[in-house]
Structure 1
Amino acid sequence: MRINFSSFFAGLKKLFQKFFSRTEVGPAVPLATDQAVVQNLNETRWPSLTQFTYLFRYLNRTEGWIFRLALLLLFISAMLLVARYINRHWIPEPAVGGTYTVAVVGAPRFINPILASSEVDTNLTSLFFSGLVRLTPEGKYENDLAEKIEASADSKTFTAWLKPSLSWHDGQSLTSEDVRFTFETIQNPNVGSPQYAKFRDVKIEIPDDKRIIFKLEKADANFIMNLGLGIAPAHIWAEIPAAAMSATEFNLKPVGSGPFMFKEIRKMEKSGDVRGLTLERFAQAATPALLKTLKIRFATDVQAELDLIASGQADGLRLVANDFFSKAVKLRGAKANYQPLPQIVAIFFNFKNKLLAEKNIRLALSAAIDTEEIVKKIRPDARFINGPVLDGMPGGESISSGRKTELETATKLLTDAGWKKDAEFFTKGTAELSLVLTVPDIKEYTDVASLVAEAWQKLGVKVEIRKIDPGALAKDVIKNRNFEALLYADRYDNTLSLFPFWHSTQSFDPGLNLTSYYNKDLDQALTDTQKPNLTPEAKAELNQKIQNLIQKDLPAVFLYQPSALIVNTVNLRSTSPGTLLTANNYFLDATNWYTKTKRFWKWSP
């Protein structure tokens, strides 16, 4: 069948001409006569459809164009209202599907919950293996493989029931025997598991295929947090001798029950180093993912990681050290997002030093420092802080500005304490006000130390900067508290607990109370935060008390909270908002990532 386009467009032209042109008429008739004639044609005085065809004979030229414009505006308004209604009720939601490729510095060795110790191995293990419970981005523990968990009144016995129909990636059933095997293997000293200390004295019983009983020698109300450890399949690992566990291929080709299952591994031909992993969604997981495929590309360093993004071999990455932030945000098509880390950078005062044990000296040293200058010059992505409780933690609050230098206040604090400024530095009798500022030999921290030393010297304090190799810091400085003032970053774990950093019992290795600061009321508040089943309100109240007590005595000068930089060249989204924990552990909410959406009709948006 042939279509005559010339006839079609000719007809369309006549139609437009009829609508937008005014028909020539005969001799003019008075307007009143026209109106009377038209109105008398219909008793209801409402125009019929036939009468509407004579509308433009009834209207003058100006009225006709006004009417046409009104019709056009009415049509546009109606379309906008319809579009708005549809947009409000035709709701997009995350859909299963899509592929995302992430670049990571390092390479895996043990993707295995029993042996994993490095950050790369630990993070990857959470993708392949599920635990009885799982940590959410909000910092709560919820059931994963476990249907329910009950604790005894004395917090010495915990009983877990597995969900029905659990399976491994290879189709085998997951039972309580797998749970027992995992923890008993960890307890075997010949295996050398990093988790050994946590479970050494725990006894495990399995009355049936779905029930596991954990019996502790000492009460531990927070033991349930340890049950987030991934469970390993007994039908694979039980046949492997303890001495051979670190050499089996299952460490790089894992079989688990987590949200993703192994599909492919890429290695360098000569060295055998792992350069890539491809993971597929495991629909039968206790907590399934939304992404269909997750690819991981491993890089030797940050520059190589950026090169993977620039060349299109990866879609996104996470950076913590700010050395490469400026390069990362300039990548073509990159969308940058800063997420505050659960870390504080501070100067910790050693209370074993007689000078720094004096409160006025600590207050003066703090007053002399300009934290706004430090953040602006060294770490623009950072947030201001005034204590260890961060925004995003219970009781934390956002700080909009830093502290400016207050030399007069600092000088008065020292003079009130009996110090006199002779020429360049403060002295008291024969003693000179001087201290050594120890700092890891990392550019960010040494740059901060230089600004701090300059501020203290302006005040009248003699300062020596002592740079330490980061690899030797723990052994040579932190273990024996071998410092006067230490510029260092406290990194919080997934519990966001302040207990390990400030309780007096943690003043000795391996505790993390670097200052050896003791306050009876602080110790009590920190102890109370460890109680089980604390409400968010109670935890917030305790954290605020801890913040106030530390601010009052100032055992440390709190400088800033650094951020991680998340860079993506694709529209990767998450069903959960970013938190302190997701900034610290990039894969924590990987089950919530999605790139695809679908729409559904919702009558009440």
Structure 2
Amino acid sequence: MKQRSLTLVPQAASKKRLIRIARRRQKNAKELTDQADQQIEKLLIRRFDRLVSVRRFIFIWVALFGLLFLATVVQIRGLSPHYQSLQPVPGGLYSEGLVGSFTNANPLYAVSSADSAVSKLVFSGLFRYDNNNKLVGDLAHTWQVSPDGKHYTVNLRQGISWHDNQPFTADDVVFTYQTIANVQALSYLYSSWQGITITKHDNQTVIFDLPNALASFPYALTNGIIPKHLLEEIPVSQLRSAQFNTEPVGTGPFKWKLVQVEGVSTTDRRQTVNLTAYDDYHLGRPKLDGFSIITFNDEKNMTQAFNDQTINAMSGLESVPSELINQVEVYATPLNAEVMTFFNMSRPIVSDVSVRRALVSGVNRAVLTTLSSHPGSLVHSPLIKGQLGFDPSIRQLPYNPDQANQLLDQAGWVKGPDGDRYKAGQPLVISLSTQDTPTYTATAKFLQSEWSKLGVRTDVRFYPSDELQSNVIAGHDYDTLLYGISVGVDPDVFAYWHSSQASISSQGRLNLSEYQSKAADQSLEAGRTRLDPALRATKYQAFLQSWVNDAPALALYRPNFIYISRNLVFNYQRQAANSGVDRFYNVHNWMIRQERQNLE
């Protein structure tokens, strides 16, 4: 028993020692924990309030910086109008709508508004008209005329290339005009080139030899030039239907890209001719990246496309649609043209000069300026103000209804109880043919009303443009015709008033009154063959006087070409124009985009 108790004592002592060690370690751990807590409190908790203060400090400075930045932006914006402004810049695609259809871009055949527009954008001529409607060089650099007025030498610009990168030379010019002069080509320009010899002097020089002096000849050199290297192998008789005409290659500011056709029926048919800027254009790369001509069947569809923002602009309208007034940019350019009522002197009633003079003096033309939103100026003779030879003292009969009635009485046309005039039991009835458009319609009805006051009954007949041209004008099938003619810059109006141009065999038969006067013929012939401006002006006096006395037509007004765009078209500048297509004279400088830039 003693032995067993002795063995238990050491075990108990060892256990107590382990307990003391564990308690000591627990105490040390607690002390370490307390120390850690003290350090955390000292290093983190106690500094937390300071951190919050620092964050507030940083936030205040960031806020102040933001306010300063905003103030600077506001100040810059406020001051920018003083040193910056919106300026036009290059770039962008432009689309123009017009009524008609595209069929042929070849300048030898392009007559319609759509064809001539595309042709003008793709091709260049030897000459073009500037902003003041003066003739300046295009493909031509300089030109000279011989003292006798029969020989013209044209020097071409160097370094010009066709859109297919082939060089442009005198060969192309000779080829163009020799083709025009070939009757088999069927070009509408044919009659102007009979008897003229075109020769190449060298690669940059062309000589034109005329059978007679012609002062207006340079104005015949504005049509587009076509490439010999692409067309010389095509028989002349087949040129009118060549594929080239709908896939043209020119030297103009824009290159052909493609044509797209939409719509099945004729009423909703739409053609889009897409052109792209020609980088190597000789007057500088166009500012616009591309130009599209979009054709429509009628003005209603075109206006709808404009309202839908499908197109940028509309051309060829006679007036601004009422819903667009004061919402669009309108460019009204006076045309070197005249709207007249032509009296067909081959018809019995208006063959009497007294009747014609009565119809002239019985119209109060001042009212015409109220019939359109953009009325043209009144005209009084076959030449317009500003043309060489124009004489303001020589003008047609003024408005005088009493004189008009006396003239009809003298001609044997007596008023009946119903107010109408009769002669040998036959009423005084004349037909008036014109185009079915708002302005022509209003003008025709106005003339009908004015003449009815004299006892003249007027049968007004309206036609679509194509039908008027092909069925009425071509055959001179009218008593009177309300129509517009382009007189151009030069006073050579031989084609409209010389008796030779009344013949059915004449090209175009443009003497719409079938006017015949020896005095007028001699004056017109003399005026076009003199180079001295003063002498030319003198020669035209006899023609003007004969025209006023014979009254072959009633001169009405000088029309405007109306161009409508949604926004400003920068550099669209025309003081006057000979035709609507002249709007493109500086199309390479047109711009539609704007950016804010510093003032210089």
Query: Would the TM-score normalized by the shorter structure come out above 0.5?
Result: yes
Supply the distance in 1 between the matched residues of 2:497 and 2:263 (Cα, whole angstroms): 50
Cα pair 2:277 2:285 within 8 Å, conserved? no
Report whether the alignment pairs 1:568 with 2:562. Answer: no
TM-score by length of structure 2 reads 0.71
Preserved contact between residue 145 and residue 153 of structure 2 (Cα < 8 Å): yes
Output the CA distance in 2 between the equivalents of 1:106 and 1:434: 38
Residue 316 of structure 1 aligns with an amino acid whose one-letter code is A
1:569 CA drift (Å)? 0.6
Asked whether 1:300 is paired with 2:297, we answer yes
- Over 3 Å counting, the alpha-carbon distance change for 1:369 and 1:277 in structure 2 is same
Contact conserved, 1:149 with 1:161, CA < 8 A, in 2?
A: yes
Question: Does 2:126 match 1:170?
Answer: no
Structure 1 counterpart of 2:129, which letter? Answer: L
**Kindly tell me: are residues 457 and 129 of structure 1, through their superposed partners in 2, closer, same or farther at Cα, counting changes over 3 Å?**
closer
CA distance in 2, matches of 1:522, 1:129: 37
- Give the 3 Å change call, closer, same or farther, for CA 94–534 of structure 1 in structure 2: farther
* 2:341 counterpart SS class: strand
* Match for residue 232 of structure 1 among 184, 206, 226: 226
| Secondary structure in structure 1 of the residue aligned to 2:305 | helix
Is 1:280 the equivalent of 2:277? yes
Hey, what's the Cα distance between the residues in 2 that align with 1:426 and 1:211? 65
Distance 1:582 1:467, change over 3 A: closer
Whether the aligned pair in 2 keeps the contact of 1:435 and 1:485 (CA below 8 Å) is no
* Unaligned ranges ≥5, structure 1: 12-78
The one-letter code of the counterpart of 1:326 is P
Q: Aligned residue for 1:312?
A: 309
Residue 104 of structure 1 aligns with which residue? 98
- Number of the residue aligned with 1:501: 496
- Structure 2 Cα separation of the partners of residues 236 and 481 of structure 1: 39
Q: What's the counterpart of residue 210 of structure 1?
A: 204
- Root mean square deviation, CA, Å: 4.6
The answer to whether 1:336 aligns with 2:330 is yes
Taking the aligned partners of 1:135 and 1:184, their CA distance within structure 2 comes to 24
Report the counterpart of residue 253 of structure 2 in structure 1.
259
Which of 123, 140, 143 is the matching residue for 1:129? 123
State how far apart, in whole Å, the 2-side matches of 1:320 and 1:387 are.
26
Q: Distance in 2 between matches of 1:427 and 1:381?
A: 33
Give the match for residue 37 of structure 2. Answer: none
* Residues in 2 aligned to 1:468 and 1:101: alpha-carbon distance in whole angstroms: 29
- Alignment-derived partner of residue 43 in structure 1: none
Find the residue that maps to 1:307 and give its secondary structure.
helix
Measure, in 1, the Cα distance between the counterparts of 2:554 and 2:237: 48
Q: Deviations over 1:237-286 (max 9, x none)?
A: 34556576556654333322112223454344989974231321434424
Higher deviation after alignment, 353-362 or 570-579 = 353-362
Please give the alpha-carbon distance, in whole angstroms, between the structure 2 residues aligned to 1:559 and 1:394: 20
In 2: Cα distance, 1:135 partner to 1:94 partner: 24
Q: 2:484 aligns with which of 481, 489, 493?
A: 489
User: Which residue of the partner structure matches residue 51 of structure 1?
Assistant: none
| Structure 2 residue matching 1:124: 3-state secondary structure | helix
1:351-384 per-residue CA deviation (whole Å, 9 max, x = no partner) reads: 4456645554434333333334455357763433
Q: Residues 77-116 of structure 1, C-alpha deviation per residue, up to 9 Å, x if partnerless?
A: xx99x96xx89xx9x9976544422113334333223443
In structure 1, what residue type is equivalent to 2:139?
A: L
Gaps of 5+ in 2: 1-57, 69-78
Note if contact 1:289-1:592 (Cα within 8 Å) is conserved in structure 2: yes
**In 2: Cα distance, 1:499 partner to 1:284 partner:** 36
Distance 1:188 1:10 in 2: 79
Aligned amino acid, residue 140 of structure 2: A
- 1:113 match: 107
User: Deviations along 1:197-231, whole A, 9 cap, x unmatched?
Assistant: 44465444334332333344555444333333322
- 1:158 CA displacement: 3.2
Tell me which residue corresponds to 2:382.
388
State the TM-score, normalized to the length of structure 1: 0.70
Tell me the equivalent position of 2:61.
4
CA distance in 1, matches of 2:346, 2:67: 98
1:4 is displaced (CA, Å) by 1.9
Moved more, 591-600 or 362-371: 591-600
1:526 to 514, 524, 527: 524
Name the CA distance, whole Å, in 1 between partners of 2:220 and 2:295. Answer: 29
**How much identity, in percent, do the aligned residues show?**
25
Matches within 5 A, 1:413-562: 413-415=407-409, 421-424=415-418, 430=424, 434-440=428-434, 442=436, 444=438, 445=440, 448-465=443-460, 473=468, 478=473, 481-492=476-487, 495=490, 497-509=492-504, 510=506, 511-519=509-517, 522-531=520-529, 533-535=531-533, 550-562=547-559
For the Cα contact (< 8 Å) 2:254–2:275, is it kept in 1? no
Q: Is the 8 A contact 1:383 1:562 kept in 2?
A: yes
Contact 1:134–1:144, Cα closer than 8 Å, also in 2:
yes
SS at match of 1:314: coil
One-letter code aligned to 1:135: Y
CA-to-partner distance for each residue in 1:367-420, whole Å, 9 max, x for gaps?
333334455357763433333333564576999xx9997544433444566765
2-side partners of 1:447 and 1:382: how far apart? Answer: 14
How far has the Cα of 1:163 moved from its partner?
Answer: 1.9
Aligned mates of 1:487, 1:461 — CA distance in 2: 17
**1:326 alignment counterpart:** 321
